[in-house]
Structure 1
């Protein structure tokens, strides 16, 4: 099976006032750490969508081996998934969709989802509800192209025409970042204390790390 990972990192951060993708996290950036986790999954292809902060992200984050899709209109509510579909390898049997601000998703959760999803759509079911990663087989790509925003993905899951399998995962839905309180909770959850003050990323020294492990870049 040929599996593509689609990491959604185009959405803006109006509540933060700075690009969430560049927030300092565990010695690098939030998106950098999430990309590392996605690379560890060993996808046959890895695609990431970027929005209006694409220039800053390219300067500070290692995107080696990743197919980047620029979706500048995502900040106005347009779907970044729709243009990303044009970058998907023709051999792809299905997509695993991930959030760009959710570094706590594990490869075990991803591959359990792929292995156990017995329907065109598979959703990870955590102790406190549904969340990413989500699986979309090739037969759903037409429906994905009809999305008006990335948030409509959940409407497709909950009320769309395709059968859905819930795949159990251990623990609660991994933390995401929409506000400074979310960021503080994320940093505090994975470290004994915040690694540095909660300030905009331009004021925080960030190490951009090039992962040393091998990955597919088809």
Structure 2
């Protein structure tokens, strides 16, 4: 399993798709706008996405979309509004896939509530996919996933051949079911450390802030 240090940036048309359309029901307030560092939670994810060097960055918004656009600097992002955000994460993936440039070779899924995500991991996922494709020809994998010390997690990367299946997903955890169904198409990137936290509850938020304070 390759490590981050063994891979170099890829040379293909790539996109980042940031999933930030949730209604934050468990938080009771828009978690995209929770204070984090010198800005807000979603701002930290957007900063990581900008560091990835994507050719296109798509931001899927739904719940609190107006407030997010008024508050967060979305410069450089193509906004994909998801009116069906209540149907789960898959509806935001479908909205984002529809907004991709037609020549996109691969897309990286990033969670809008995962501020600890590493740009290096996203870049390395893409390189892993393209390197595997160059060596495997017609049997090239279509999916790359991060393998942390405590399990598999985001970001995830998908080549163009997977776009139709991504767009057809339904439900909140469907992308993980897709990974199970297409296990032969999955390659893993070894990422040292534990999985970056995503914020769904107040306790998650406290843990993320504690991690930020510990890193400073």
* Aligned equivalent of 2:206: 184
Unmatched runs of 5 consecutive residues or more in structure 1? 194-218
* Aligned equivalent of 2:61: 50
Q: CA RMSD in A?
A: 1.7
* Aligned equivalent of 2:191: 169
Distance in 2 (alpha carbons) for counterparts of 1:37 and 1:148 = 27
Query: More helix by proportion, 1 or 2?
Result: 2
- Figure out how many residues of one structure are paired with residues of the other and give that number: 194
TM-score, normalised by the number of residues in structure 1: 0.85
Distance in 2 (alpha carbons) for counterparts of 1:139 and 1:159 = 15
Q: Secondary structure in 2 aligned to 1:79? A: helix
Contact kept in structure 1, 2:87 and 2:171, CA below 8 Å:
no
- Give yes or no for the alignment of 1:29 onto 2:40: yes
Q: Given the superposition, is the C-alpha separation of residues 126 and 161 from structure 1 closer, same or farther in structure 2, using an over 3 Å criterion?
A: closer
| 1:37-76 Cα distance to aligned partner (Å, 9 max, x none) | 1111111100010012100001100111100001021123
Distance in 1 (alpha carbons) for counterparts of 2:190 and 2:94 = 28
Equivalent residue runs for 1:85-100 within 5 Å: 85-100=97-112
**1:105 CA displacement:** 1.3
TM-score, normalised by the number of residues in structure 2: 0.85
Equivalent in 123, 142, 146 of residue 168 of structure 2: 146
Contact kept in structure 2, 1:31 and 1:100, CA below 8 Å:
yes
Q: Secondary structure in 1 aligned to 2:91? A: coil
Distance in 2 (alpha carbons) for counterparts of 1:30 and 1:82 = 23
Contact kept in structure 2, 1:80 and 1:150, CA below 8 Å:
no
Contact kept in structure 1, 2:87 and 2:172, CA below 8 Å:
no
Contact kept in structure 2, 1:80 and 1:149, CA below 8 Å:
no
* Aligned equivalent of 2:124: 112
* Aligned equivalent of 1:38: 49
Contact kept in structure 1, 2:32 and 2:40, CA below 8 Å:
yes
Q: Secondary structure in 1 aligned to 2:57? A: strand
Distance in 1 (alpha carbons) for counterparts of 2:19 and 2:45 = 10
Equivalent in 7, 16, 27 of residue 5 of structure 1: 16
**1:150 CA displacement:** 4.5
Q: Secondary structure in 2 aligned to 1:31? A: helix
- Which runs of 4 or more aligned residues in structure 1 lie more than 6 Å from their structure 2 counterparts after TM superposition? none
**1:149 CA displacement:** 2.7
Q: Secondary structure in 2 aligned to 1:103? A: coil
